[in-house]
Chains A and B, each alone.
Chain A
Amino acid sequence: MRIKCPYCGERALEEFTYRGDATVKRPRSLESDAAEAWTDYVYFRHNPAGLHREHWYHGAGCHAWLTVTRDTRTHEIVAVEFADKREGT
C-alpha cells in the first residue's frame, strides 16, 4: 500500500504507523457521568466495511499525523490530510 503524504509525497506503507479510527473525540469532562464517553473513546471502535477515516503517523518521514480515508475492502485511499489542519500556521 502507498499513502500520499501531503508533505512528503507518495510513500510506501512501511514508513507509516497505523493508529485507527480518526472520528473518535477525546471527552473533556472528568465528571463521573462521563464514564460511558470515556469507555467509548478508549475501547470501542467501528469496523466499517467501506470508507473509514483513520489516523496514520508518518514516523519515517515528516512526523505528521495524517487523517487517511481508506476503503477497508480494497485498501483504496480516497483522501489524505494533515490531522492538524492548523499545522504550519
Chain B
Amino acid sequence: MTSQSNRLRDGGLIDRAKTVRFSFDGETLTGYQGDTLASALLANGKKLVGRSFKYHRPRGILTAGSEEPNALVELRTGARREPNTRATTIELYDGLEAASQNRWPSLKFDVMAVNQLFAPIFGAGFYYKTFMWPASFWEKVYEPAIRRAAGLGRAASAPDPDHYDKAHAFCDVLVIGSGPAGLATALEAARAGARVILAEEDFRLGGRLLAERYEIDGKPALDWVRAAEEELASLDCRILRRTTVFGVYDGGTYAAIERVNDHVKLPPAHEPRQRLWKIVARQAVVAAGAIERPIVFGDNDRPGIMLAGAVRTYVNRYGVTPGRRAVVFTDNDDAFQTAVDLADHGVEVVAMVDARAMPSVKAKEIAAKAKAPYFANSVVQRVRGRQAVKSVDIAAPNGEVHRIDCDLLAMSGGWNPTLHLTTHLNGKPVWNADLSALVPGALPPGMSVAGASAGQFGLAACLASGRLAGTEAAKACGFKPKRHKAPKAADESTEASPVWQVETSRGKAFVDFQNDVTISDIKLAAREGFRVPEHLKRYTTLGMATDQGKTGNLNGAAVLANVTGRYVGAVGTTTFRPPFTPVAISALAGHHRGPDFRPARLAPSHKWAEEQGAVFVETGPWLRALYYPRAGESPQDSVNREVANVRTQVGVCDVSTLGKIEVQGTDAGVFLDRVYANTFSTLPVGKARYGLMLREDGFVMDDGTTARLAEDRYFMTTTTANAVKVMQHLEFCQQVLWPELDVQLVSVTEQWAQYAVAGPRARDVLQRLVDPGHDISNEAFPYLACGEINVCGGVPARLYRLSFSGELAYEIGVPARYGDALIRAIMMEGAAFGIQPYGTEALGVLRIEKGHPAGGELNGQTTAHDLGFGKLLSAKKDFIGRFMAARPVLADANREKFVGLRPLDREARIRAGAHLVPKDAEATAKNDQGYVTSIAYSPSLGHWLALGMLARGPERHGEVVRAVDPLRGEEVLAEVVPPCFVDPEGERLRV
C-alpha cells in the first residue's frame, strides 16, 4: 500500500480521521472521507489514469469537476460496472473499485498507442475518407477494428441489480448551483417566502468557494456557506445535493439526476441508486459557475498538466498537491493565484509564464510573494515526459529558451460561463468582448442567470447578481421580498486577454482532449471548407464526446477563427443539448424494466389462465392467453385442438379486452347513426348489430357490435387495439362536432368481465349458469339478441348472442370482480359438454375460417367496399366518412378487395405479407395486384388458408394467382375464393 505521498500536511475539507480504502487497477490505496477518486489518486501520486480515445495517449487528470475529458474510469465491478465515469466527480468510499479503461494490456504499456504513429491517417474526416468503399468492408473489417482500437469503457454485461427511482417536484424557484451566486439566490428567494429547490451537482455546497481562500464579511467564505446552509434548512428550501440539472424543457420543466447512493459501496436496502427528478419550476436561476479553458499548445495533454483552477481545488479543498515543482502558464491574473496557494503549502513554484504581451503588475506582485521566477510575454513551447511531465521549454520574447524541470504544469486560458442550460431551448449565447467569452443570450421564459454563469466572475459580483436574481425570481412568483443585509466581499481581478493557442513546432496540440481533436485537425477541416462550427464539429468530432466539449469548444472556435481570419465571437460555437452530463439509461428507465417495462393489463381470467398453464401474448397493453397447451402438444397442436373443440363441442375465450363504451342519452341513437356507417337508431331494444365505423376520409377505422339495452342506452364494443382511439374519436364527435346532442359516453371496459362461449353446446353450458326465469332458447333469445339477466344466483349479467367463430355462441358479461369466479363456473358447468378454453390464436383461426376482417384487413387502407361491406353504407343519413367514402376513386372496381385464398397444393403454406401476382406474370412491382393479410392453418379444412386484398378480387373467384414472398424466397399458387371457408350460409350460428 502506498502512502499518500502528495497529501499536504494540513488543510482541506477532508476528514483525516476517516481513512478510506479503495483500489485502482487492482492496487489498494487509501484516501480520506471527503476525497474524490481524482483527489485520492493525486494524493497517492497517481498521475496517469487513462488512455485517450483515438491515439491511446497517456492521460492524467485535467480538471476537478464534471467537465473532465480525460480521467474517465470504469467504476465498480461485475453487474454494477459503470464505464466512463469521471474520477473528478466520484466521491470516494470505502471499498471503491475503479479501473482505467481503453488500454491493453496495461495502463502503462498500451499496445494501441501505436495509433499515434498512424496519426496522419486518423486526422479530420478520417471516417469519411477512409471507409467509403466497399460498403461490406464497413461491417466486416473497419468497424470491428475501430471498435477495438478506439473506444471508451466497457458497459456491464449483466442486468443492473439496483433500483432507480423517478420523482416529480414542483417549486417557485429552482436554483441550479450552490456557489456564492446560487446560495445568495436561494437565500433571497426563500426569505421572500418562495418554495425553493436548490440543486447542486457536488456533494458539498459552496461551489468555487470550496476551492478558493476567499473571505466574506471578513471571515472565511466557508463560514458564510455554513450559515447559508443552516438558514436555508430553516426556510422552505429543498436542498438536493449530488444532483445535476441536465435538461431544460418547455413550460419551466427541468430534468435532474440525483446520485442518491453512488457514494456508498452498495445502496442501503430499499433505497434507489439514483433518482430522476422532473422539476416544474415557475422560475429558475442558473448559477452553474464557469469552466476554465486550457491553452492549446504542443503536448498539452501530458499527465501532470492541469487547469490552474483545478490545482487550487486540489490544494485548498482536498489538501493534495498534484506536484512538487510547479510551473504556472496562463494569460490571466486569476490563475497566478495558484502560485500563491501552492507556495503557501510549501510547493515550489519554479516558473510563472505569462503569455500576454503586456506584463501584469498583479502577476509581478504574486511572483514576488510566491518567490517564483516570472516570464513575461513568454510561452511554453515544449513539454518533455511521455507518461508525466518532466520539464518544459519556456520561450522568452528575446528568443531565449529556458528549460525548466517540473512535474506539474498549471495552465489557464481564462474562464467560460457555464451556460449550457440556457441553450437547451435554442438560446444562442452571445460574445462578450470584455470577458473574451460567450455569455448567455436570450433566455427561455422563467429562466435567469446569476454569477459566473452570467459572466459575473468576481466574488462580490457573484453575490450581488445572486441576490438580485433571487429577489427578482421571488417577485415574479408574486412574493414581496424585503431587503436583507448584503454580504461583503472583494472582487478579485478577472482581467483576461486570451492567447488561445501557442504555435509550436512540436507535439500534438489538443483542443478536444476526449475526442483527440488537435489544432491540425481543425486547420485541415478549415482548408477543406468546413468553416462553420456545426460542420467543423461533425467533420472533426470536436465537442462530440460525452463531455460535449466543455473544455474545448471555445478553443476550437478560436483556432477556426484564427485560420479563417475572423474573431472568435463571429465564429461562435455549436448548440449544447441535454444532458449536461451523461445520464445512465437505468435512471431514465426507472421502474420500467423487465416485467414492468410498461404496465400490463390483465384480463379477469388471467390468474385462472395462469393456473391452466396458458401461454400469453401482448396485444396492445393487454396480456392475453394465446393458447392453452396440454402435455405433449406442439403450439400448433394446441391451437388445432382448441379450434376443433369449438367447431364440434364448445369453447370459452376471455374477450374482456374489447373496448366497451356505454352510449347513453336521448340522442344516443342519432349519435350512433352519425358515427357508424350503418344505422342504429332503428335497432330494437334487446338487439345487437354489427357496426362499421369509418374515418372522415372514407376508410374503415374500426368495427364491433353495439347492443341496445334500453331506449336511451347502448353498449358498444370496439376492437381491443382501437379502444382508446375510438373513445377519443367519439368524444371529439360528441364535444366538437355535435355538442347539441344529448349523449353521454363512458368507458366501461374495466367494469365487465366478458367471455365468449362458442360451439354447438354453448347453450347447454349457459343454461346451467343463468338463473331460473331467463329463457335463452333459440326462439326466445335468437341470434343477435341481448339482455340483462342474472347468473349463478343473482349476479347481474349481460348476455349477448354474438358469434365471431360462426358457431352458436354467446358473450356473457359480469362485473369484473366476478370474472375469476365466472370462468371457473363456466369451466365446471361446461365440463359435461366437453368445454375447453381457447386463446387468441384459435380465435384468429376461427375468424379467418369465417372470413371476418380484423387487424390485418382493418389496416387503415381499406374501404367498406373493399371489404365487402358496401351495402352497410347508409344512404339515408350523414355519417362520419360518408361523403369521402363515395369518392369515385374509393368505389373504383379496380381497387384491391377482400378475398379468400386456398393453396392449390394442400400441403403448401401461404405467407402473411406475400404479394399477389397473376399466375404467369413476373413477380415485379408492376404486376403486384395485392397482398396477403392473414393466414391460418385450418383444422376444419385440413390445410392452410389465407385472406388477402386482390385487385378486382370478387370478380376473380376461381382464378389461380401466385402468392410471392420475396423475403423468404417462397411462392405458392393459390385459388381465389370467397373469404368465408366454413358454413358460408351462416346456419350454425342461428340454431
Residues on A facing B (Cβ under 8 Å):
1-2, 12-13, 17, 19, 26-28, 30, 34-35, 38, 41-43, 55, 57, 59, 63-65, 75-76, 82-87
Q: Is B696 an interface residue (CB 8 A)?
A: yes
Cα distance A35–B251 when bound, in Å? 41
Cα distance A85–B249 when bound, in Å? 31
Is the CB–CB distance between A42 and B697 below 8 Å? yes
Is the CB–CB distance between B883 and A34 below 8 Å? yes
Is the CB–CB distance between B883 and A63 below 8 Å? no
Cα distance A87–B882 when bound, in Å? 27
Cα distance A30–B887 when bound, in Å? 12
Residues of B708-760 at the interface with A, using a CB-CB cut-off of 8 Å, are 724, 728, 731-732, 734-737, 739-740
Cα distance A70–B253 when bound, in Å? 18
Is the CB–CB distance between A84 and B739 below 8 Å? yes
CB-defined A-B contacts under 8 Å, sample of 22:
A1-B250, A2-B253, A12-B251, A12-B253, A13-B250, A17-B728, A26-B696, A28-B878, A35-B887, A38-B884, A41-B696, A55-B736, A57-B728, A57-B731, A63-B731, A65-B735, A76-B445, A82-B735, A83-B736, A84-B734, A86-B739, A87-B739
Is the CB–CB distance between A30 and B878 below 8 Å? yes
The interface residues of chain A lying within 8 Å CB-to-CB of B250 are: 1-2, 13, 75
Is the CB–CB distance between A2 and B883 below 8 Å? no
Cα distance A59–B732 when bound, in Å? 11
Is the CB–CB distance between B735 and A64 below 8 Å? yes
Is the CB–CB distance between B735 and A59 below 8 Å? no
Q: Which residue from chain A places its CB closest to the CB of B696 in the assembled complex?
A: A42
Q: Which residue from chain A places its CB closest to the CB of B887 in the assembled complex?
A: A35
Cα distance A57–B883 when bound, in Å? 25
Q: Is B913 an interface residue (CB 8 A)?
A: no
Residues of B229-263 at the interface with A, using a CB-CB cut-off of 8 Å, are 249-253
Is the CB–CB distance between A26 and B697 below 8 Å? no
Q: Is B846 an interface residue (CB 8 A)?
A: no
Question: Contacts A27-B883, A42-B696, A84-B736; is A59 near B253 (CB within 8 Å)?
Answer: no
What are the 5 tightest A-B residue pairs by CB atom distance, in nearest-first order?
A2-B251, A84-B735, A1-B250, A84-B739, A65-B735
Interface of B, helix, strand, loop or mixed by DSSP? mixed
Q: Which residue from chain B places its CB closest to the CB of A43 in the assembled complex?
A: B697
Question: Contacts A65-B735, A83-B735, A84-B736; is A1 near B251 (CB within 8 Å)?
Answer: yes
* Most chain B beta-carbon neighbours within 10 Å: one of A1, A12, A87: A12
Cα distance A87–B734 when bound, in Å? 10
Q: Is B972 an interface residue (CB 8 A)?
A: no
The interface residues of chain B lying within 8 Å CB-to-CB of A17 are: 728
Q: Is B75 an interface residue (CB 8 A)?
A: no
Question: Contacts A1-B251, A59-B724, A76-B445; is A38 near B280 (CB within 8 Å)?
Answer: no
The interface residues of chain B lying within 8 Å CB-to-CB of A87 are: 735, 739
Out of A26, A38, A65, A75, name the residue touching B731 (CB < 8 Å): A65
The interface residues of chain A lying within 8 Å CB-to-CB of B732 are: 19, 55, 57, 65
The interface residues of chain A lying within 8 Å CB-to-CB of B696 are: 26, 41-42
Cα distance A35–B889 when bound, in Å? 13
Is the CB–CB distance between B883 and A30 below 8 Å? yes
Cα distance A42–B445 when bound, in Å? 36
Is the CB–CB distance between A26 and B728 below 8 Å? no
Out of A35, A63, A65, name the residue touching B736 (CB < 8 Å): A65
- Closest chain A CB from B700 CB (angstroms): 15
Cα distance A89–B507 when bound, in Å? 80
The interface residues of chain B lying within 8 Å CB-to-CB of A42 are: 696-697, 884
Cα distance A28–B883 when bound, in Å? 10
Cα distance A55–B735 when bound, in Å? 11
The interface residues of chain B lying within 8 Å CB-to-CB of A27 are: 883
The interface residues of chain B lying within 8 Å CB-to-CB of A85 are: 739
The interface residues of chain B lying within 8 Å CB-to-CB of A64 are: 735
The interface residues of chain B lying within 8 Å CB-to-CB of A57 are: 728, 731-732
The interface residues of chain B lying within 8 Å CB-to-CB of A59 are: 724, 728
The interface residues of chain B lying within 8 Å CB-to-CB of A84 are: 734-736, 739
Cα distance A22–B939 when bound, in Å? 52
Cα distance A35–B882 when bound, in Å? 12
The interface residues of chain A lying within 8 Å CB-to-CB of B882 are: 30
- Closest chain A CB from B594 CB (angstroms): 22
* Most chain B beta-carbon neighbours within 10 Å: one of A41, A63, A86: A63
Question: Contacts A42-B696, A63-B731; is A26 near B251 (CB within 8 Å)?
Answer: no
Cα distance A65–B733 when bound, in Å? 10
- Closest chain A CB from B701 CB (angstroms): 13
Is the CB–CB distance between A38 and B883 below 8 Å? yes
- Closest chain A CB from B486 CB (angstroms): 35
- Closest chain A CB from B668 CB (angstroms): 17
The interface residues of chain A lying within 8 Å CB-to-CB of B734 are: 84
The interface residues of chain B lying within 8 Å CB-to-CB of A26 are: 696, 737
Question: Contacts A42-B697, A63-B731, A76-B445; is A2 near B252 (CB within 8 Å)?
Answer: yes
The interface residues of chain A lying within 8 Å CB-to-CB of B731 are: 57, 63, 65
Residues of B256-285 at the interface with A, using a CB-CB cut-off of 8 Å, are 280
The interface residues of chain B lying within 8 Å CB-to-CB of A38 are: 883-884
Cα distance A38–B884 when bound, in Å? 7
Cα distance A83–B731 when bound, in Å? 11
* Most chain A beta-carbon neighbours within 10 Å: one of B737, B739, B887: B739
Cα distance A41–B737 when bound, in Å? 13
Cα distance A85–B739 when bound, in Å? 9
Cα distance A87–B252 when bound, in Å? 30
Residues of B881-909 at the interface with A, using a CB-CB cut-off of 8 Å, are 882-884, 887
Cα distance A64–B887 when bound, in Å? 32
The interface residues of chain B lying within 8 Å CB-to-CB of A12 are: 251, 253, 280
Cα distance A38–B696 when bound, in Å? 9
The interface residues of chain B lying within 8 Å CB-to-CB of A41 are: 696
Cα distance A12–B168 when bound, in Å? 11
The interface residues of chain B lying within 8 Å CB-to-CB of A75 are: 250-251
Cα distance A75–B736 when bound, in Å? 24
- Closest chain B CB from A52 CB (angstroms): 15
The interface residues of chain B lying within 8 Å CB-to-CB of A82 are: 735
- Closest chain A CB from B168 CB (angstroms): 9
Cα distance A2–B252 when bound, in Å? 8
10 other A-B residue contacts (CB within 8 Å) besides A1-B251, A27-B883, A38-B884: A2-B251, A26-B696, A30-B883, A34-B883, A35-B887, A55-B732, A57-B731, A65-B736, A84-B734, A86-B740
